[in-house]
Structure 1
Amino acid sequence: MSAKLSIGIAGAGVGGLASGILLARAGHRVTVFDQFEAAGPVGSGLMLQETGLTILGALGLRAGAEALGSPITRLWGVSSETGRAVLDVRYGALRKSLIGIGIQRAALFDLLFEAAKAAGVQVVLGTRIVSADSEAGVFRDTEGSALGPYDLLIDCMGVRSPLASKPSKELPYGALWATLPWPESSVFDDAALEQRYEAARKMAGVMPSGRAAPGAPVSLTYFWSIRGDAYEAFRTAPLADWKREASALWPETAVLLDQITEHDQLTFARYRHRTHWPATEGRLIRLGDSWHATSPQLGQGANMALLDAFALARAVEAGGEIAADYTRMRALHVRLFQGMSHMFTPVYQSDSAVLPWLRDWLAAPVSKIWPALPLLAALVSGGIGAPLAKLGLRAER
């Protein structure tokens, strides 16, 4: 594309920074606005799947992410009530070289932020975008100031973006997250995301999440499922009450819970489902959770945002109908994963008695039979719907 555009991006998260890097490297003038006074990530660890890793490879950042992250080859979950393994996904069932990477959000953010600055992206902090004129190409902040005009506006402000429709469904369950040092004496598998369940009402997980920086201690991410309407009660009750409940579900995590001495060490994440159609409006493009938000199944939010960023850069590069080309490259994959999140979330986070029973006694045995094994690996690695092929990419491994 010969014409160089002026582009305003709202939100310095994974999608905002990745799209900023790609567009700035193509010669466009890119400004990223973020409400925080100091740039930084929100949340704990996440999993980079092959889809997201391939995009990071295109950005020249995959090696850095793999060096800081922890390789994960297996997802393993056990019912505390029956002792049955009800989730056992091995990436190697699809392809021997296939892995996920557990990584701290801070580590991923630093890689993207430094690359954005090196690409010439202008980052403006302390600026909260509250509205946009999609026809004029103008953002407005809390002071009422007009920012722009830009040839293209990109909304990367997530599920709570004021530029998108409200979530159609706020899920009853969220989660508490904490990044903790990997214990010296541990029974946890350093190459697996492990979970324990009591029906679908309780869930705890442990995921290797690498290092925050080179030479830093190895970490893990601990998470605990909790109803959104129970969070305030959790905050006001003695922390010891929750620790007893969590230890009863998974006694081996006591060594982790001992590291948590204050409520504030646990970050509460509330989950929502929402897909904003259309994904574009005039000069405004929605990207990541601003377009398609789900419960964060295995870090797919970050991986989907990376795919969106690459698709948008490709659409801009093509010089045709940017909005139509961007939507065409991503719509099928978005619909597939939105549908699967709607279907699977209640199986692991809900008050249902029937769904976890079906999970434990029907779905779990079937999942161990071919072709379920490679299909599950394809599902969790993000490959269903061939999103990389639609972007003209192939997995690197």
Structure 2
Amino acid sequence: MGRSLSIGIAGAGIGGLAAGAVLAGQGHRVAVFDQFAAAGPVGSGLMLQETGLAVLGAMGLREAVEALGAPIDRLWGVSADTGRPVLDVRYSALRKGLIGLGIQRATLFDVLLAAAQAAGVRLVTQTRITAANGQSGVLVDDAGGVHGPYDLLVDGLGVRSPLSSAPKTELAYGALWATLPWPEGAGFDTRALEQRYEAARKMAGVMPSGRASPGAPESLTYFWSIRADQYDTFRSEPLTHWKDAARALWPQTDVLLAQIESPEQMAFAGYRHRTHAPVVEGRLVHIGDAWHAASPQLGQGANMALLDAFALARALEDSAEAGPALQHFLRLRAMHVRIYQWMTWAFTPVYQSDGAVLPWLRDRLAAPLLKLWPAPPVLAGLVAGGIGSPLKRLGLAAAR
């Protein structure tokens, strides 16, 4: 590693905390700024793929998350209109022993926060960063306070970062999410992410999401696709209206719907599709959703943020100056980001849209095509995040 740098990170999300932990572990002086009085996660469950797990392994955190997460072998979705499978991804088609890991966002956040604090990261709370100057290396908060100058600035403020460009595409559909106790005898597959669809207008999903802490009960994450412009209606109408529709789509979820007694139990997430440019602006670099926001169709958000964080640290290992290191960071990550931005954009209208033609074709063609080689290993590789060889580029090996 070159000289120790002073680094200011805006945003204590997954990418910001991971970057803080690994950079401080290299000997850099790191401050992470967050607007909350006590930093905390936003959202419900998520899936860690082999890419994200490999990064966590290099950080010495993989065992911790695997002890609390839920192993997932398969992604399985069925059309309610035809009863046919329209999504069937088995990780074993790519490699024996390969899995995804369902985990509560709060659990992953706690593991990363503890790692960042143990590495010596200084967490600055109640400070909402609204501007940055990549030439002078300063961050500015909403009260006009100036922080820095730093040798390097990192924008980890997510999809709505005020430091990056507004998205060109505000996606029509978002989702409602809730983490619930796993119901005994409900019949859901404990090692699969299951989904049900009505065309692409309605989608419900159930994903194992592990435990909040050792000894805590197992949980699952339930999600429901919803148009963003219908969210206010969802909140104002009697909850039974939505439950009737959700139950009709997937009767088996009645046992989950019974646990939801108010709209406040369902966190709404709106989605945007945007690739910010330029990624590097002087000493400022954008990572995670602040760089490459997308819908969650391929479940790559947290994993891409972890890859970005580790790539930034890798790029700084042999450089004494931020400028050349940031160009190296771009070479490490740009191709993988482009591939998954394009693939996510292509998959979104098939599973979440008002369109009729693509879902109709999906319902009738997916079942036979999913079984034909090379579809099984290609789909497994796509979902696992390995297309474009991101781990090889970072000098990381997948677990065997």
Provide TM-score, normalisation by structure 1. 0.99
Q: 1:92-129, CA deviations, whole angstroms, 9 ceiling, x for partnerless residues?
A: 00001100000000110010000110000000111000
Task: Give the aligned partner of residue 338 of structure 1.
Answer: 341
Superposition pairs for residues 4-19 of structure 1, below 5 Å? Answer: 4-19=4-19
1:75 maps to a residue whose letter is: L
Other structure's SS at 1:127 match: coil
Which deviates more from structure 2 when the two are superposed, residues 172-181 or residues 313-322? 313-322
Instruction: Give the drift of 1:269.
Output: 0.2
Task: Give the aligned partner of residue 218 of structure 1.
Answer: 218
Aligned partners of 1:41, 1:179: CA distance in 2, in Å?
13
Task: Give the aligned partner of residue 228 of structure 1.
Answer: 228
Q: 1:338-378, CA deviations, whole angstroms, 9 ceiling, x for partnerless residues?
A: 00011001100001110111111123321211111000000
Instruction: Give the drift of 1:184.
Output: 1.4
- 8 Å Cα contact 2:2-2:316 kept in structure 1: no
Structure 2 unaligned regions, length at least 5: none
Task: Give the aligned partner of residue 183 of structure 1.
Answer: 183
Task: Give the aligned partner of residue 108 of structure 1.
Answer: 108
Instruction: Give the drift of 1:201.
Output: 0.4
Aligned partners of 1:80, 1:177: CA distance in 2, in Å?
21
Instruction: Give the drift of 1:65.
Output: 0.5
Task: Give the aligned partner of residue 360 of structure 1.
Answer: 363
Superposition pairs for residues 7-156 of structure 1, below 5 Å? Answer: 7-156=7-156
Task: Give the aligned partner of residue 390 of structure 1.
Answer: 393
Instruction: Give the drift of 1:91.
Output: 0.3
Superposition pairs for residues 260-339 of structure 1, below 5 Å? Answer: 260-319=260-319, 321-339=324-342
Aligned partners of 1:112, 1:284: CA distance in 2, in Å?
22
1:359 maps to a residue whose letter is: R
- 8 Å Cα contact 1:173-1:226 kept in structure 2: yes
- 8 Å Cα contact 1:107-1:213 kept in structure 2: yes
Instruction: Give the drift of 1:139.
Output: 0.2
Aligned-residue RMSD, C-alpha: 0.8
Aligned partners of 1:338, 1:291: CA distance in 2, in Å?
11
2:385 maps to a residue whose letter is: G
1:351 maps to a residue whose letter is: D
2:234 maps to a residue whose letter is: F
Task: Give the aligned partner of residue 376 of structure 1.
Answer: 379
Structure 1 unaligned regions, length at least 5: none
Instruction: Give the drift of 1:283.
Output: 0.3
Segments of 4+ in structure 1 off by > 3 A?
Answer: none
Other structure's SS at 1:71 match: strand
1:119 maps to a residue whose letter is: A
Instruction: Give the drift of 1:299.
Output: 3.0
- 8 Å Cα contact 2:298-2:344 kept in structure 1: no
Provide TM-score, normalisation by structure 2. 0.98
- 8 Å Cα contact 1:47-1:298 kept in structure 2: no
2:375 maps to a residue whose letter is: A
Q: 1:11-41, CA deviations, whole angstroms, 9 ceiling, x for partnerless residues?
A: 0011001110111011000000001111110
Q: Percent identity?
A: 69
- 8 Å Cα contact 2:276-2:291 kept in structure 1: yes
Instruction: Give the drift of 1:133.
Output: 1.0
Instruction: Give the drift of 1:277.
Output: 1.7
Task: Give the aligned partner of residue 240 of structure 2.
Answer: 240
